[in-house]
């Protein structure tokens, strides 16, 4: 992980090369003005050179803040932050085409997914587009095989559970903030009416898919002021989406629909759904539908490779620590990098000293491979400065903790210890290595290496203390 000073020096050198004419004109203008004082062309040339020269450090500072994901006091939200619960996640995604009025919303299960093309030509620089749209070059093209459920059809094939469905394959541009819906395996699609025997026209609805997949949390406040949790209640959510579409959309405040703010007819339809659900509650759908290995995109998309993390010895000796934070909100923008979109985010950070958590708003480039698992976790790992005043997002550690990259530990005798899919154990190992000043810039902690031999017993003890409950009797 690069240091902020290293990023600043690199940007300063780049700015100096791009604006190198500034100091030259300043020197020439000053030399000419020294020989012929006055407000003629020498003074104008010197002023122009001075203005360009000042842009060198200014542009370096601006670029460093944009590139280096550091959170400081200036990013903290005033007044205690958002009134969001800790398990809230609000996602603002680019809207999809609405289709014709006769098109119907249906659920589709993702059977297979594969990256077809993603080849932006930005060379990791920041690229900003004018207008509220997502350009194709920064939107991955994904090949999907879908099973579209439609119990109202009269002549499709039928599944073993009695529901009707048909399958469709195609290639679609998927907004990067909605990639987790594919990994979760649940989409909302618009199906256009067609003549009998013709191929059905299917168009995924990506923001609604993120909601159905459970990436975005969902709640409802009924007419009596009671709150109900709807996250991953896919059947009821799909019915609500149909009502919303017929009504011309229903606004969500954060992640909540308040029936007291709707027109009486739409509110009554929502309330009828709520009454039926109270009489016969719907179980939550799984976090991810079966067969996730056939639609895993994290290994095919760009982003940081997960690792146990680099540790600066000076940082470790002075008391630097790691903490976890959680995304409360993500909002898409029109700026992109090759390995991920630039998003306006809100994080809830738990300080290491035990003080109450605080919310911070920060514009971050979020790796695309992390976005594919956003339905499972919204946590990130932060590196805290020794004085506790700044926090740096560590995407390499974050991706290992999130399971984007599988973690591994090899014992001194060569046996592999079970750590994959156990985030609390991985978190404990990261903190152990950080406290000992040991860098492991790979996803595998190999205790057979000489420099790691002094922590082999401690690592083994941590693994045993975090025994996998699945292996316990």
CB of 360 within 8 A of CB of 349? yes
Distance CA 169, CA 155 (A): 20
Q: Out of 33, 52, 68, pick the residue that ends a domain.
A: 68
Q: Are residues 36 and 167 in the same domain?
A: no
Distance CA 5, CA 18 (A): 20
Q: So what's the pLDDT on residue 472?
A: 43
Per-residue pLDDT of the chain (473 residues; tens, 9 = 90+): 566 666 667 666 766 777 767 676 667 666 765 666 655 666 666 676 677 777 777 776 666 666 667 899 889 998 767 788 999 999 998 887 777 888 899 999 999 999 999 988 766 678 888 776 678 889 999 999 999 997 644 333 444 444 588 999 999 999 999 999 999 999 999 998 876 767 788 999 999 999 999 999 999 999 999 999 999 999 999 999 999 999 988 988 889 999 999 999 999 999 999 999 889 999 999 999 999 999 999 999 999 999 999 998 889 888 899 999 999 999 988 889 899 999 999 999 999 888 899 999 999 999 999 999 999 999 999 999 998 889 999 999 999 999 999 999 999 999 998 898 899 999 999 999 999 999 999 999 999 999 999 999 999 999 988 766 554 44
Q: Are residues 121 and 176 in the same domain?
A: yes
Q: So what's the pLDDT on residue 473?
A: 41
Distance CA 433, CA 428 (A): 9
- Which DSSP string do the residues of 308-376 spell out, in sequence order? SB---HHHHHTT-EEEEEEEEEEEEEEEEETTEEEEEEEEEE--TTSPPPEEEEEEEE--HHHHTTTTT
Query: For 298, what's the count of Cα atoms within 13 Å in the CB-facing half-sphere?
Result: 25
Q: C-alpha angle 400/61/336, rounded to 5°?
A: 50
Q: Are residues 180 and 250 in the same domain?
A: yes
In this structure, what DSSP letter does residue 200 have? P
Closest CA relative to residue 384, chosen from 322, 340, 324, 428: 322
Q: Are residues 62 and 99 in the same domain?
A: no
Cα torsion through 405, 411, 415, 418, rounded to 10: -40
Distance CA 5, CA 457 (A): 36
In a domain? residue 399: no
Q: Are residues 209 and 117 in the same domain?
A: yes
In a domain? residue 338: no
Q: Where are the beta strands (DSSP E) in 159-267?
A: 164-173, 186-192, 201-204, 219-221, 227-229, 256-258
Closest CA relative to residue 344, chosen from 92, 107, 60, 113: 92
In a domain? residue 196: yes
CA distances from 36 to 22, 31, 215, 245, 450 (A): 21, 9, 69, 74, 70
Q: Are residues 126 and 52 in the same domain?
A: no
Q: So what's the pLDDT on residue 162?
A: 46
Q: So what's the pLDDT on residue 161?
A: 45
Exposed, middle or buried, 224 (CB in 10 Å: 0-12/13-18/19+)? exposed
Q: Out of 68, 85, 120, pick the residue that ends a domain.
A: 68
Helix (H) or strand (E) holding 59: helix 41-67
In a domain? residue 84: no
Within its chain, how far is the Cα of 445 from the centroid?
26
Q: Are residues 244 and 202 in the same domain?
A: yes
Q: So what's the pLDDT on residue 154?
A: 36
Q: So what's the pLDDT on residue 157?
A: 42
Could you list the residue range(s) of the whole structural domain that residue 281 is in?
94-294
Q: Are residues 147 and 266 in the same domain?
A: yes
Adjacent-strand bridge partners of 341: 336
Q: Out of 268, 294, 320, pick the residue that ends a domain.
A: 294
In a domain? residue 441: yes
Q: Are residues 191 and 256 in the same domain?
A: yes
Distance CA 422, CA 218 (A): 26
Closest CA relative to residue 445, chosen from 398, 397, 378, 376: 397
In a domain? residue 465: yes
In a domain? residue 105: yes
Structure tokens at 414: 């060569």
Q: Are residues 45 and 118 in the same domain?
A: no
In a domain? residue 333: no
Considering the entire predicted model, what is its pTM?
Answer: 0.86
Adjacent-strand bridge partners of 443: none
CB of 202 within 8 A of CB of 108? yes
Pairing of strands 408-410, 444-446: parallel
Cβ neighbors of 389 (< 8 A, separation 6 or more) are 72, 73
Q: Are residues 61 and 141 in the same domain?
A: no
The count of structural domains within the chain is 3
Pairing of strands 219-221, 256-258: parallel
Distance CA 252, CA 254 (A): 6
Q: Are residues 32 and 167 in the same domain?
A: no
């Amino acid at each position: 992980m690069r240091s902020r000073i290293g990023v600043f020096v690199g940007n300063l050198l780049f700015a100096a090369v791009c604006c190198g004419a500034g100091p030259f004109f300043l020197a020439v203008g000053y030399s000419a003005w020294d020989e012929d004082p006055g407000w003629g062309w020498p003074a104008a040339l010197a002023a122009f050179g001075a203005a360009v020269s000042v842009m060198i450090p200014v542009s370096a500072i601006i670029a460093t803040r944009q590139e280096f994901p550091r959170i400081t006091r200036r990013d903290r939200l005033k007044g205690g932050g958002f009134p969001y619960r800790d398990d809230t996640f609000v996602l603002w995604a680019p809207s999809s085409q609405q289709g014709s009025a006769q098109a119907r919303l249906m659920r589709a299960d993702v059977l297979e997914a594969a990256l077809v093309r993603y080849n932006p030509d930005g060379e990791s620089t920041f690229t900003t587009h004018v207008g509220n749209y997502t350009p194709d070059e920064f939107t991955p093209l994904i090949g999907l095989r879908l099973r579209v459920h439609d119990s109202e059809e009269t002549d499709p094939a039928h599944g073993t559970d009695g529901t009707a469905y048909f399958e469709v394959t195609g290639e679609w541009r998927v907004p990067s903030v909605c990639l987790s819906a594919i990994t979760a395996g649940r989409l909302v699609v618009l199906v256009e009416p067609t003549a009998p025997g013709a191929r059905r026209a299917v168009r995924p609805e990506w923001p609604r898919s993120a909601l159905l997949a459970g990436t975005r949390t969902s709640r409802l406040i009924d007419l009596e002021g009671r709150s109900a949790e709807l996250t991953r209640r896919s059947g009821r959510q799909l019915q609500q989406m149909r009502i919303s579409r017929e009504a011309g959309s229903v606004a969500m405040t954060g992640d909540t629909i308040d029936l007291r703010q709707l027109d009486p007819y739409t509110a009554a339809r929502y309330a009828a759904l709520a009454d039926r659900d109270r009489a016969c509650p719907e179980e939550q759908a799984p976090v991810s539908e079966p067969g996730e290995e056939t639609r895993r995109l994290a290994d095919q998309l760009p982003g940081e490779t997960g690792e146990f993390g680099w540790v600066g010895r000076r940082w470790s000796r002075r008391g630097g620590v790691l903490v976890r934070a959680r995304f409360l909100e993500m909002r898409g923008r029109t700026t992109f990098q090759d390995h991920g979109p630039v998003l306006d985010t809100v994080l809830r950070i738990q300080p290491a000293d035990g003080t109450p958590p605080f919310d911070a708003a920060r514009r971050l480039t979020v790796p695309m491979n992390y976005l594919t698992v956003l339905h499972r976790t919204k946590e990130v790992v932060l590196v805290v400065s020794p004085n506790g005043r700044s926090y740096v997002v560590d995407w390499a550690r974050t991706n290992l903790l999130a399971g984007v990259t599988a973690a591994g530990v090899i014992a001194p005798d060569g046996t592999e210890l079970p750590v994959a899919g156990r985030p609390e154990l991985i978190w404990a190992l990261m903190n152990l290595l950080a406290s000992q000043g040991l860098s492991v810039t790979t996803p595998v902690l190999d205790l057979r290496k000489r420099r790691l031999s002094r922590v082999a017993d401690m690592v083994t003890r941590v693994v045993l203390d975090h025994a996998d409950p699945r292996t316990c009797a």
